[in-house]
Amino acid sequence: MLGMICVRACSALVGFRAPTCVRSLHSFPGITVAQIDEEVAKLLELKAQLGDDGKTQFVLKTPKGTRDYNPKQMAIREKVFNTIIRCFKRHGAETIDTPVFELKETLTGKYGEDSKLIYDLKDQGGELLSLRYDLTVPFARYLAMNKITNIKRYHIAKVYRRDNPAMTRGRYREFYQCDFDIAGQYDAMIPDAECLKIVHEILNELDLGDFRIKVNDRRILDGMFAVCGVPDDKFRTICSTVDKLDKMSWEDVKKEMVNEKGLSEEAADQIGEYVSMQGGMDLAERLLQDHKMSQSKQACAGLSDIKLLFKYLQLFHVTDKVVFDLSLARGLDYYTGVIYEAVLTQAGTVSAANEAQNDTNADESVSVGSVAGGGRYDGLVGMFDPKGRRVPCVGVSIGIERIFSIMEQKAEASPQKVRTTEVQIMVASAQKNLLEERLQLISELWNAGIKAELMYKKNPKLLSQLQYCEEAGIPLVAILGEQELKDGVVKLRVVATREEVDISRADLISEIKRRTEA
């Protein structure tokens, strides 16, 4: 058995299935030490899973980087989704859905360096397919395919990234994105401001502690690169390096720019000055006067829009949380204008305790505490349109996995138990041989819309029925006994207080509804 698994690990390594295990190094031209280390680790992990006896037939697990959600996690997830969906609906969004996989070519050329993280499906004869990497590219494909020029939609669904960092760093390979986007040719910054208002509303309502929303503009970044002397063909790669400022010191970022990306020290230093700037509308005004920055038309357009954005955000009363931050870059290629990212500022304790499973983002830029991000992408739909017709878009993605983790932690810390069902009443019996009577009663309750359970036993003990209610948090019990059946009543028991009253069968449903109204 170990041999077979070993062969698989080898074949995964070299890309084909061989009938033997590790052969000489000559069989693996181009293999690196790191690759060997990785494969050895995999084999050892497999060995550990096999246990001492080596008898286990197969590995009982979910694929690497994925997880199941148990009922308690689902109850929390439902609560978070409801808050987010309520907000999206409040802002008049429709919703759409797209397939979990797209034609491979639909995703090609949209994600820059991250394209290597795309999951491909096996070529089983037919189209070449890939799992979606985000919801934005499928959205753009949907708009172009259906020739839609105006829509405000949300889309909540799972996306897939074959990210290397293991579960220990908490980066999932399958995770949810909650996207809200506005497509259409509109007056500047009005939809953009609404996206930020939405982030503000959701983070407030979820009650995750204080937060900041950083904003910047790709045109300001590009203009800044231009006036600092970055060659045109290095804009994107230098932008990727700037994007690491939330995880790396400026010194390290500078080193990467100069040593790895070949930027001049002088240019790097000039960038360093700008990316340390943070402020509000005042900073945008100051930079519009800046002798260097003002030389770039692009930067000026971006700065004017930032000013306008802040004006609208003031009317929404949300500027207390918004910072214009020149170090914000964001990884994806497709942004063309305003970009933003929300970070939790009080999440230190939570994220420290929860580091192991916590810093996944439902979004491409990973920084500890980041819970939402987005921006304007006016060129993406045109990439799909045969005639290149542009549909300007702006949107935001809520990084739900991190929010789940925080909510889960909160639930753990709270004395209140998370209920995983909404059952209002248990139909129980005090004596033997009353299964038929229980079935008849519960059927009446279900038909009246009451959420009810019974134990699937002919003769359950009353005590075990009551204990089940306490464990599951069911508030009421309808107890049937011979006397009650004779009298045409049901004994209604309140689990919390142990109070019991006889209720006539005719009044039972209204009495249950009265007592369980939220």
Contacts to its own copies from residues 364-393, by CB under 8 A: 384, 386
Nearest to 361 by CA among 377, 372, 350: 372
Q: Does residue 135 have a known ligand-binding role?
A: yes
CB of 45 to its own copies, least distance (A): 11
Q: Does residue 134 have a known ligand-binding role?
A: yes
Alpha carbon 214 to chain centroid, angstroms: 19
Q: Does residue 177 have a known ligand-binding role?
A: yes
Q: Does residue 334 have a known ligand-binding role?
A: yes
Q: Which is nearer to its own copies, 229 or 488 (CB)?
A: 488
Structure tokens, 398: 């809520």
Regarding 358 and contact with its own copies (CB under 8 A), the answer is no
CB of 353 to its own copies, least distance (A): 24
* Ramachandran bin of 358, using left for φ above 0, alpha for ψ from -120 to 50, beta for the remaining angles: alpha
Cα–Cα distance, 287 to 300 (Å, whole number)? 8
Q: Which is nearer to its own copies, 141 or 244 (CB)?
A: 141
Cα–Cα distance, 309 to 316 (Å, whole number)? 11
Q: Does residue 136 have a known ligand-binding role?
A: yes
Regarding 433 and contact with its own copies (CB under 8 A), the answer is no
Regarding 191 and contact with its own copies (CB under 8 A), the answer is yes
User: Segment contacting its own copies (CB under 8 A): 193-201, 206-214, 330-338, 483-491?
Assistant: 193-201
Q: Which is nearer to its own copies, 141 or 376 (CB)?
A: 141
339 strand-pairing partners: 216, 375
Regarding 334 and contact with its own copies (CB under 8 A), the answer is no
CB of 142 to its own copies, least distance (A): 5
Q: Which is nearer to its own copies, 133 or 142 (CB)?
A: 142
DSSP state letters, 332-382: -TT--SEEEEEEESSTHHHHHHTHHHH---SSS---TTEEEEEEE-SSHHH
Interface mask toward its own copies for 291-330; x: CB under 8 A: ---------------------x--xxx-------------
Which residues, 146 to 165, sit near its own copies by CB under 8 A? 146, 151, 153, 158, 160, 162
CB of 100 to its own copies, least distance (A): 6
Regarding 469 and contact with its own copies (CB under 8 A), the answer is no
Size of the site for its own copies (CB under 8 A): 101
Q: Are the beta carbons of 112 and 236 closer than 8 angstroms?
A: yes
Q: Are the beta carbons of 103 and 127 closer than 8 angstroms?
A: yes
Regarding 27 and contact with its own copies (CB under 8 A), the answer is no
Q: Which of 234, 255, 451, 505 binds its own copies (CB under 8 A)?
A: 451
Cα–Cα distance, 22 to 2 (Å, whole number)? 13
| Cα angle: 377, vertex 319, 368; to 5 degrees | 65
CA distance between the termini of the chain = 56
Cα–Cα distance, 500 to 85 (Å, whole number)? 40
**What are the C-alpha distances in Å from 514 to residues 424, 425, 446?**
11, 12, 16
Which residues, 88 to 147, sit near its own copies by CB under 8 A? 89-103, 105-106, 119-129, 131, 141-142, 144-146
Which residues, 413 to 432, sit near its own copies by CB under 8 A? 420-423
Whole-angstrom Cα Rg for the chain:
29
Which residues, 46 to 65, sit near its own copies by CB under 8 A? 55-64
Cα–Cα distance, 68 to 413 (Å, whole number)? 22
Q: What residues are designated binding site?
A: 134-136, 161, 177, 181, 330, 334-335
